[in-house]
Amino acid sequence: MKTVSAQQLAKVFVEIADTLVDEFDLLDYMHMLTERVVELTDAAAAGMLLADQRGRLEFIAGSDENVKLVELFQLQNEQGPCLEAFDSGEPVVNVNLGEAGARWPRFAPRAAAAGFQSVHAFPMRLRRQVIGALNVFGDTSGNDFQDDDIAIMQALADAATIGLLQERTVRRSEALTEQLQAALNSRVIIEQAKGAVAQARGISVDEAFTAIRGYARRHNRRLTEIAQSIVTDPETLQQIFPQ
């Protein structure tokens, strides 16, 4: 991990604490967080998984959403570092993927084939409950997290958990379920929108995601909102992504 300046870190923490704005959007927030993790650590990719009501880990957001990476995130409801961090409540760090074949026979070879060398996972904890995990992939060797880095990454994961709950609703025990279900459904909307744009434009779903996210950013709109318009309103799809 590259050395993080205190100033840079403080900026990120202020950004992720800022969840009380009116335009707060959970999916945008999760995407922002995974991107900051990549910037801070020089990682190749980062992603976030949350547990649904059945206790299964579901992919929520990635710094990058190419098909191979999404598959790696999804696979971790069966095996892998996120499942271990989720079950134990402890970080899983500095695992060399080339040596993890026995530990994760399906996950490790696929992650290595996708070009990654190392993997890490940090539990998202709320009191005694673990609600998900933050996943980090590295593509260079000798870039291990040191003790200080691990503490910083865990603090980021904890801050993300609090952000997820939004302070105004955190006192209600029902708020967690309501937020998680909304996040999982927003994730589905984004997948539906990827497919719609891929079909309309004759491009891959990876390219479709890049196009949707690019449009949302250029127009300063929320990702979920754009995705929803694409899927529910054929005219929006035509306007935004003419064939």
Which residues contact other proteins by CB under 8 A? 53-54, 59, 70, 74, 173-174, 177-179, 181-182, 185-186, 188-189, 191-200, 205, 227-228, 231-232, 234, 237
SS3 39: helix
Tokens 């996708």, located at residue? 114
**Cβ(57)–Cβ(66) under 8 Å?**
no
| Minimum distance from residue 114 beta carbon to other proteins (Å) | 16
Q: Residues of 39-60 as b/e, b for ≥16 C-beta within 10 angstroms?
A: ebbebbbbbbbbbeeeeebbbb
Q: How far apart are CA 213 and CA 201, in angstroms?
A: 15
Q: How far apart are CA 105 and CA 83, in angstroms?
A: 14
Q: Which is nearer to other proteins, 145 or 209 (CB)?
A: 209
| Minimum distance from residue 175 beta carbon to other proteins (Å) | 9
| Minimum distance from residue 236 beta carbon to other proteins (Å) | 12
Q: Which is nearer to other proteins, 117 or 186 (CB)?
A: 186
| Minimum distance from residue 141 beta carbon to other proteins (Å) | 30
Q: Which is nearer to other proteins, 92 or 223 (CB)?
A: 223
Q: Which is nearer to other proteins, 7 or 173 (CB)?
A: 173
| Minimum distance from residue 116 beta carbon to other proteins (Å) | 19
Q: Which is nearer to other proteins, 88 or 199 (CB)?
A: 199
Q: Which of 134, 123, 166, 175 is nearest to 18 (CA)?
A: 166
